[in-house]
Amino acid sequence: MSVILKRIYDEERNLGGHRILVDGIWPRGISKEQAEIDRWMKEISPSSELRKWFNHDPEKFSEFKRRYKKELSSQSDKKSSLDELRNLADGNRVILLYGAKDEKHNHALVLKELLEQDD
């Protein structure tokens, strides 16, 4: 399994692998053709309430991570999407695309961590 995180705005297109957008909202200024994604898993993104509470505040990241993991394990649509993502990543390269500016404090990092735990 190889899980790569890439910000969709900065991202090279020729990395090879399943390109999956994991944001709940389509990234501004990026057309579907430009994105060249294989799948948009918007249902796996944090809830609007959690996203708004976190507001990309690095000081809230550890609590955000805990709450997001709880959402992923307790909400059936998110749990099902995470299982599907695990299956896609099993033996394959997966590129998780996200739009957040902060590359060290975002939900895609949490997803990568969960996928690599299973490895």
Residue-wise pLDDT for 86-96, tens only, equals: 999 998 999 99
pLDDT in tens, 9-64: 986 666 788 999 999 999 999 998 888 899 999 999 999 999 999 999 999 999 99
Whether the pLDDT of residue 85 is over 70: the answer is yes
Q: Is 98 helix (H, G, I), strand (E, B) or coil?
A: strand
Q: Work out whether strand 39-40 and strand 18-21 pair parallel, antiparallel, or are unpaired.
A: parallel
* 76 vs 59: CA distance, rounded Å: 29
What integer pLDDT is reported at residue 117 of this predicted model?
87
List the structure tokens of 114. 């969960």
Phi-psi region of 16 (alpha: psi -120 to 50; beta: other; left: phi over 0): left
